[in-house]
Chains A and B, each alone.
Chain A
């Protein structure tokens, strides 16, 4: 188990401000956050590149806060691979074993095994400069895995790759994780990585962890306005909440929406586009929030279309092309939006 308590470190513009995290054995743990949130220095501090100003890092109950990186048993893979350009792929993968004084025949064997696991067995004699991005990243992962690290740290390992390679390598990461059962801490700012890979997720912002949970928890119940915006919650509006008998009326300026919360005062609300129902006419239902307005935008976006209905506030909804045709929705035409009280996520402002 990797356990991080109250970790703080300041490196000029990048900093950590009291990070608490626990990663279970064999867990695939994703850290999500925007650029500049402190994700990379968190990984580098776990790896031992930087010593924290305060806080502790323990691995399997052993305090490793001040342990030299080479003695931590933690592997690191960067977005830009960082394969040693003056060494062949084989020498790169075998680099760690060589440091440990492993016998050359055994190194060759282990390098071959790791390369085959990542599907780069045919590239061992090449130098990194002649490899594609995906191949380089596979080699970098193999180089870290061959040492059988207790924890593997991946710093945006898929960000530098094209979309097709990214999808493929994402699947391979999952397969490798299952095959080796290595504990993984993976940084990303891509939302897709979470659902494909993560057992649990932490969201970082301004050097802090602002939410930890399963992907579903983070997606369904974002803890802050920031998480909502970051996880794709599009209809985020702010207003004043008044609670009466457990039911809240939130005045968003133009309109008042209803939900169930005990948060009062200045709040922001978020409603996922897929939870907004669009109709031609208002209709009778159990949903308490229904507003009429005008369609201001219909935009095709893959198999779904984004429809914006201005009903006092612009509400974004996601519809299929067929639904748009059936309802005969067009820009400038009338429409209503309906959503349930439970679809409204309320955050303190």
Chain B
């Protein structure tokens, strides 16, 4: 390749825009991290409020991601392998939350779990979803399960069904072929889906705000902590929450890239 040996005006212009944009993003994010003096940042990171927010975020996102994968695997496999009436409609519906603003999803969830008959019934059974940590999990699940389904589905679709056919002639049940052949072959896709879903769960704000509210130290995940502290002017705490979110994003992006195949997510 003579990419560097013969720079044309065309190449130069496009590369300048590319590097300009990379520089812009790096400066913006680095500026945020570098804004507070280091001791203040460390102090904020260790503050009880931020520690609690990290804990709550980790627990809720872990639970909601686990639920996402439990639901997404059978759904994605069905969409990838089976033909059934209404498959196109089902696919579209599954994708709707991808384009739906999370705030709208949050309001819908709030109505469903709040004043609706179902919500009242659930509440009478002792499951309070609205304005509780449980609501965080419900909101994260609802908004992120479509992402998990998309990644998982594309993982299943790249596996030739003949692997399963052969496994079944070799003595596997449908379950056995799925467990011993399909799942191991889809492993990278599943891990990638897991990471992207988890990272999005941690960062979920709109739907969580609507359904679980923003109660300090109760439903305060990292994005909620960021929001609450910004609105009260506690900039150091807000930045501490941001720094953790940036670190989580970068780590999950690295894992995701390693597991390959980012097609079919967005």
Write the residues of chain A forming the contact surface with B, with a CB cutoff of 8 angstroms: 44, 47-49, 68-70, 72, 74-76, 78, 80, 82, 84-86, 95-96, 99-100, 143-144, 147
Contacts and interface: CB of A to CB of B under 8 A. Distances in A.
A69 B163 contact: no
A314 to B, nearest CB: 44
B162 A74 contact: no
Given A82-B160, A86-B185, A47 B173 contact: no
A146 B160 CA distance: 23
Contacts of B173: 68, 70
A204 B170 CA distance: 27
Interface of B: 160, 162-163, 165-173, 176, 181, 184-185, 187
A80 B110 CA distance: 52
Contacts of A80: 160, 162
Contacts of B160: 80, 82
Q: Which DSSP category, helix, strand, loop or mixed, fits chain B's interface?
A: helix
A48 B169 contact: yes
A74 B165 CA distance: 12
Given A82-B160, A84-B181, A85-B185, A95 B170 contact: yes
Contacts of B170: 70, 75, 95-96, 99, 143-144, 147
A47 B166 CA distance: 9
A96 B162 contact: no
A84 B169 CA distance: 14
A47 B185 contact: no
Contacts of A144: 169-170
A147 B169 CA distance: 10
Given A69-B168, A75-B169, A84 B163 contact: yes
Contacts of B168: 47-49, 68-70
A96 B184 CA distance: 17
Contacts of A143: 166, 170
Contacts of B176: 99
Contacts of A100: 171
Given A99-B172, A100-B171, A76 B166 contact: yes
A44 B165 contact: yes
Nearest to B185: A86
Contact of A78 (B162, B167, B184, B187): B162
B169 A76 contact: yes
Q: Which 4 A-B pairs have the closest CB atoms?
A: A99-B171, A96-B170, A69-B168, A76-B169
Contacts of B165: 44, 47, 49, 69, 76, 82
A53 to B, nearest CB: 15
Given A84-B163, A86-B184, A99-B176, A74 B169 contact: yes
A80 B170 CA distance: 17
B188 to A, nearest CB: 11
A157 to B, nearest CB: 13
Nearest to A100: B171
A69 B169 contact: yes
Q: Among A44, A78, A80, A82, which residue has the most Cβ atoms of chain B within 10 A?
A: A82
A95 B177 CA distance: 11
